[in-house]
Chains A and B, each alone.
Chain A
Amino acid sequence: MTVQAIVIDDSSAMRMILRRIVTKLGFEVDEAVDGRDALDKLNAAEQVPDVALIDWNMPEMNGLEFIQAVRSDPRYSRLTLLMVTTESEQSQIVRALAAGAHEYLIKPFTPDAVAEKLEILGLTAGV
């Protein structure tokens, strides 16, 4: 079964970069421009994606608020959450993990770094 991902970032360039990387890994990819847009897409989706790649700083519902919203809704209990952000302070990583993020990747990154984070999360194409 194909792994489904949603990339949540207000930068269209970053969405394109992540879409390309994750598509190359064999995932199906949807996009959202911020946390609110992502929640709307999750609510409307027939099938919840397997993984969300989430920016922190977004104008309408930031990444941390999105994680908190998803974690409080049992419909999304199987959604894996990977924060992908420029926020690189140790205290912020701790905050994101405490809120329910499963992994954390700091921008800038290489395609290999994305693949390795997804591997840590047990997500490989065809699983």
Chain B
Amino acid sequence: MAIASTDFNYVADLVRREAAIVLEPGKEYLVEARLLPLAREVGHTDIGQYIRHAQQPANRDQRWAIVEALTTNETSWFRDAAVFEGFRKELLPRLLETRPAHQPLRIWSAAASTGQEAYSLAMLLTEELGISRKFEIVGTDISRAVLAQARAGRYTQMEMNRGLPARHLVRYFARTGTAWQVDPQLQRCVSFRELNLAAPFSGLPRFDVVFLRNVLIYFDLSTKQTILRRVRQTMASDGWLVLGTAETTRGIDEEFEHTRLGGLTAYRASAEAPLELTRRA
């Protein structure tokens, strides 16, 4: 059954208010597909009835479930191979040249979802650095449900099939029943925490690289500008930002400069930006 426009508008307002994510008219199919499983879980077969149920003051958990369902996106291991190749061959050597060997590399996977990007980076860094260099990866997401899976490091066979090279599967995972478990040593290099990109960030360290891929597209221009400004403030002065292949800072935040590194476009704060940022912060 098609969703009524009043119900769609309620959901769009809720998601915009809580996560600053814009659901344009035309996304009704997405709302139906994502909310139907939630409706069934609480005994509704009709999306409209479920949305009215979620609107009741006592059902805050259902409203949050709606936000989570509409902010969770498909992910895969080593998504966009050219980005990881560019990171491995071009960006990582530059980082290693400019940082003292005792200083751990800090990387932020800023829309971590179920953790595939964060663990992919951990596998890549383990292969490239061995035990010679420490690194820390922080994964953040707005959704508690996806973060629970990311922390558990446990994936179904279907999830494992999505882009994970077989030699990595053999080296970094163990079969447990019908699922696969990330190697505990790899897990120790990765932590996950809840963070809403549309709200002020707190408690984050300075990062050498920020992966913020395929997430800005969901926000309006002013929210994108706010997020990019806050992201710059979390980056080391010579740190790098990596966006999705179809995303750019151009026309949004001109204090970033872009550099082409193999198959990767990376952004860094222009030389003038840090002082101005200090004053703003």
A residues with a Cβ closer than 8 A to B are 88-90, 93-94, 96-97, 101, 103-106, 108-110, 112-113, 116-117, 119-120
Contact = CB atoms under 8 A, between A and B. Distances in A.
B175 A97 contact: no
B163 interface: yes
A109 B170 CA distance: 18
A106 B157 CA distance: 8
A112 B162 contact: yes
Nearest to A114: B161
A120 B175 contact: no
Contacts of A104: 166, 169
B76 A90 contact: no
Given A97-B170, A120-B81, A113 B161 contact: yes
Interface string B158-187: 101111011101100011000000000000
A27 to B, nearest CB: 18
B162 A113 contact: yes
A63 to B, nearest CB: 14
Nearest to A104: B166
A97 B167 CA distance: 8
Contacts of B175: 88-90
B161 A119 contact: no
B76 A103 contact: no
A24 B129 CA distance: 38
B167 to A, nearest CB: 7
B161 A109 contact: yes
Given A104-B169, A109-B158, A112-B76, 16 more contacts: A88-B175, A90-B174, A93-B169, A93-B170, A105-B161, A106-B160, A106-B161, A108-B158, A110-B158, A110-B161, A113-B158, A117-B163, A119-B81, A119-B163, A120-B81, A120-B165
Nearest to B175: A90
B116 to A, nearest CB: 12
A93 B166 contact: yes
Given A88-B175, A90-B174, A106-B157, A116 B162 contact: yes
Contact of A120 (B160, B163, B170, B174): B163
Interface string B22-44: 00000000000000000000000
Given A89-B175, A90-B175, A97 B81 contact: no
Contacts of B167: 97
Rank and list the top 5 A-B pairs by shortest CB-CB distance, nearest first: A104-B166, A116-B163, A113-B161, A109-B161, A90-B175
Nearest to B160: A106
Nearest to A113: B161
Nearest to A83: B166
A74 B161 CA distance: 30
A103 B166 contact: yes
B45 to A, nearest CB: 27
A61 B269 CA distance: 59
